Chain A
Amino acid sequence: MSKVPITLTVNNREYSFDVEPDLRLVDLLREKLGLMGTKEGCGEGECGACTVIMDGNTVHSCMVLAAQSDGSEVLTIEGLGSADNLHPLQEAFIEHGAVQCGFCTPGMILSAKNLLDKNPSPTEEEIKEGISGNICRCTGYSKIIAAIKAVANKGGAS
């Protein structure tokens, strides 16, 4: 298997790798970059726990081959805010009790960010559709929706 040279930007930093053709983006992020915020929940594109934003769109990183991310810009949850400087969505999720076990949270927040980037004032239906690719087993979604609504109403998600 010949390795594939790739260069990509992750959280605003450029990286170059030689990757196996069968390496997935989720594995590149977690194992080669140590960015463990992106989770693998199913490996089949059915749960959204592996969601990252690639070239401005959310993707299931378990379905993207690392080799396909050559030349791309990827944002993971680690790129969104830090403990000292939380992103409004992170703050709202905490404030509204939208985090229980936290496993879905990174993917959920990135889907919420992508939704608000494209549609700053979503209706409740649009919020539900925006996070429809992210499964949560704990919260029952209502606090998540409330948190997203709160950020939308404050007019800030970037």
Chain B
Amino acid sequence: MVEDMDFYRPNTISEAVELASDKEVTFFAGGTDLMVHYYEQLDDLGDIVDLTAIAELDGIRQENDLLHIGAGTTHQTIVNSDLLAADLPWLVQSAKEVGSPQIRNRGTIGGNIGNASPAADTVPALIVSDATIELVSVDQKREESLSDIFVSPGKTTIARDELITDIKIPVVSDNAAGSFQKIGKRNALAIAVINCAVFVKIDCEEDNFKEVRICLGSVAPVPYKAVAAENFLVGKEINLDNITEAAKIVQEQIDPIDDIRGTAEYRDDVAEVIVKRAICDALEQLEVEL
């Protein structure tokens, strides 16, 4: 028990950020990451600001060419969303593979981002979807590209008094698709040994890749953008040889570590496999024959 800890349960974003402006707080939503080490880090948490009563943080909607996901939206709400199933099935897949039904019922997409684990599942899917996040504090509202915010495991560029409020994703065009792959020690309740999201936009007439985005988790201190492989594929003909080569480039470029979930060698080998699998899956959705 910490002597000075207080608990607040605001109903609006502005109340929440007001609290954060003059106190050291921890924004607490589903608690599925925060509670794991809760008792060990009680002294560092400051006051708890519970976000689960803030209705405006919850919800998925489309406005013109942007999809908006409230940061307080649970993974299960994302899994249940018809709108996202149609437009971002790889994001839905990533949310579906988080934890367990119980964890998905409480854990939020904002929390998955803010916790900044390199093994986060929704993050690679969001990065390849070109997601930006909105950050609100008492003084300002700003936006950052999601791929820019991760500094090191558990650390982001988000200030302590800033609240993630909204995740914005451009609506996907017809000739584009994505895929999410996760490898874990179990089919559920597993933190990724390695995961991968890809997004490809193709030119059907030219039969080549117009845009390629590849992001892997658990191979680097932060979600890893496989830029060299992406650049290799752009403009190349859509065939298995090129996809295989791109996957090889990823394997050569990454420098994973040994940790409690897996070895560097395993991650190296499997990265090549899942990148290839993900690209092929995305192309299959576009009904491209390889």
Contact = CB atoms under 8 A, between A and B. Distances in A.
B4 interface: yes
B189 A133 contact: yes
Contacts of A45: 32, 35-36, 99-100, 102-103
B101 A21 contact: no
A129 interface: yes
A101 B103 CA distance: 25
Nearest to A66: B7
A135 B189 CA distance: 9
A95 interface: no
Interface in A46-78: 46-48, 51, 57-60, 62-65, 67-68, 70
A133 B52 contact: no
Nearest to A21: B7
A1 B99 CA distance: 32
Contact of A59 (B4, B5, B9, B102): B102
Contacts of B28: 65
B7 A4 contact: yes
Contacts of B99: 45, 133
A24 interface: yes
A58 B103 CA distance: 9
Contact of B48 (A21, A44, A60, A70): A21
Contact of B102 (A2, A44, A48, A65): A48
A124 interface: no
A63 B189 contact: no
Contact of B106 (A20, A63, A70): A63
A14 interface: no
Contact of B31 (A64, A70, A133): A64
A70 B105 contact: no
Contacts of B103: 45, 60, 63, 133
Interface in B190-248: none
Contacts of A133: 99-103, 188-189
B117 interface: no
A51 B102 contact: yes
Interface residues of A, number: 33
Contacts of A22: 1-2, 5, 38-39, 42
A132 B188 contact: yes
B3 interface: yes
A130 interface: yes
Contacts of B4: 1
A114 interface: yes
Contacts of B181: none
A24 to B, nearest CB: 7
A146 B24 CA distance: 51
Which of A58, A68, A111 gathers the greatest number of chain B CB atoms within 10 Å?
A68
Top 5 A-B pairs ranked by shortest CB distance?
A133-B100, A132-B188, A21-B7, A57-B105, A63-B35
15 contacts: A1-B5, A2-B6, A4-B7, A21-B6, A22-B1, A22-B42, A44-B36, A45-B32, A58-B102, A59-B105, A68-B9, A68-B31, A68-B52, A129-B101, A132-B189
Interface of A: 1-2, 4, 20-22, 24, 44-48, 51, 57-60, 62-65, 67-68, 70, 111, 114-115, 129-130, 132-135
Interface of B: 1-7, 9, 28, 30-32, 35-36, 38-39, 42, 48, 50, 52, 76, 99-103, 105-106, 187-189
Given A51-B102, A65-B50, A129-B188, 20 more contacts: A1-B5, A2-B7, A4-B9, A20-B1, A21-B5, A21-B7, A22-B38, A24-B35, A44-B35, A46-B189, A57-B105, A59-B106, A60-B103, A63-B103, A64-B31, A65-B28, A67-B48, A68-B31, A133-B101, A135-B189
